[in-house]
Amino acid sequence: MQAVQGWFRDTTGGLPRTFWYLWTGTLINRLGSFVLIFLAIYLTQERGFDELAAGLVLSLWGVGGAVGTTVGGTLADRWGRRPTLLTAHLGAAAMMLTLGFARDLWAVAVGSLLLGLFAEAARPAFGAMMIDVVPERDRLRAFSLNYWAINLGFASAALLAGLAAEASYLLLFVIDAITTLATAVIIFVKVRETRTPAAAAPLAAGAPRPRGALRTILTDRVYLGFVALNLLGALVFLQHTAMLPIAMGDDGLSPSTYGSVIALNGVLIVAGQLFVPRLIRGRSRSHVLALAAVVMGVGFGLTAFADVAWFYALTVLVWTVGEMLNSPSNSTLIAELSPAELRGRYQGVFSLSWQVAGAAAPLLGGLVRQQAGNGALWLGCAAIGAVMAVAHLVSGPARERRAAALRPPAEPVVPVTAVQPPVPQAAEAAATAPAEPTGEGYAPEPDRERHPAATR
């Protein structure tokens, strides 16, 4: 029992209060994330649109998301994290209801486009705020906890959405809008602005200047290389929603079997994600990311040989382990490669890679499967995983050097040779001087090198 309590304190203890408000908002929002799960079924079965029209609507969601991540990242840096999050959540809630009541194809298409824009605009601001409030040494477990909340909420939403859809499809949109509004209320009431004006914060050695943000990002070859690797990984990972259900259908397995098999992904993450930070703590991030790419590639590659439900379930469990290893290391590395004054825009570029993959994965997967066959698709995913692993090992040292250059300079440790008694006047002034106020969640942290016990 004491071991469990110690693990719980080690996993959740010491994180800023603002983080827990954001974490709660994430969980509530994901518990109501009904619309995207059932949107394709809603468009074809409830609205009677054909597959082409439904595909167009889903693609417009992706287009809106690509614009949203770009605009959201810029606003998070220029306007602020908090107002960007509030605007994005309020806009998304409004568009949820609009899309639920829309009937004509043009109205549904416009609603999907704007919903994707508002929903995805929140991501860069949220990521930047997480980096703002969580100290570097705690980010690995903080991002793991947030990723755990996302998957717990999403897995629960999949079950709840099925029940809600049986009652009314409109209920999907209403509940989704309510949970989005609830997240906005939490941010409005409990979360303060965390962005530090660039003028007030001196740049660290080697950090790019805020002027010419687009040029800074486009010439940051280290970061763009990392984003390109994430794009490759996303193209592989998103085949589980694009081509996996088709492959299982060709083997005579029902949609409900696919739902049960893919649910193992969320179950394993909820059960094991909180143990990952301790497992990978202190290990080279490049090695962890390389291992994650190999495991994920092996999992998807095994799909080429699957023909029964249990074998498909095994493949899902394998690539889920790779996903669990990849996510926290990915998030902490993004945080350290993002200059403080450009965090929102850097987060936006990273989110854009997911939007591009979301649009391209079904097209590329379908093309490869049609032209070269099912086996070639999944073995090709394994090959991409191997290429990614090598690329992570090769590019890792440059990424770590860049991350070190962007860290604020550490205060020098002055050795104490003798303890001198305080000067009476100085001691009296120190005793009577009022304490300096500190903001909530921003109390000075003990230096890690001088106080090793503080990191435990």
Q: Record the pTM.
A: 0.71
Checking if the pLDDT of 450 tops 70, the result is: no
The least confident of 48-62, 82-96, 190-204, 258-272 is: 190-204
> Mean pLDDT, to the nearest integer, of 175-188?
92
Whole-Å CA distances, 412 to 301, 317, 408, 416, 447: 50, 47, 12, 12, 10
pLDDT by residue (tens digit) across 46-61? 888 876 777 678 778 8
Cα separation, 267 vs 104, whole angstroms = 38
What's the confidence (pLDDT) of residue 410? 57
Residue 232 clears pLDDT 80, i.e. is over it: yes
pLDDT in tens, 384-429: 999 999 999 999 999 999 988 887 765 454 454 444 444 444 444 4
Contact in structure between 334 and 346 (CB atoms under 8 Å): yes
Q: What one-letter code names the amino acid at 23?
A: W
For residue range 112-164, what is the model confidence (pLDDT) as tens digits?
899 989 988 998 899 889 889 998 888 888 888 888 888 888 777 766 766 77
- pLDDT above 60: residue 442: no
Domains with residue ranges and CATH for the chain: 15-196 (1.20.1250.20), 217-406 (1.20.1250.20)
**Mean pLDDT value across the chain:** 81
The fraction of the chain above a pLDDT of 70, given in percent, is 81
pLDDT recorded at residue 6? 63
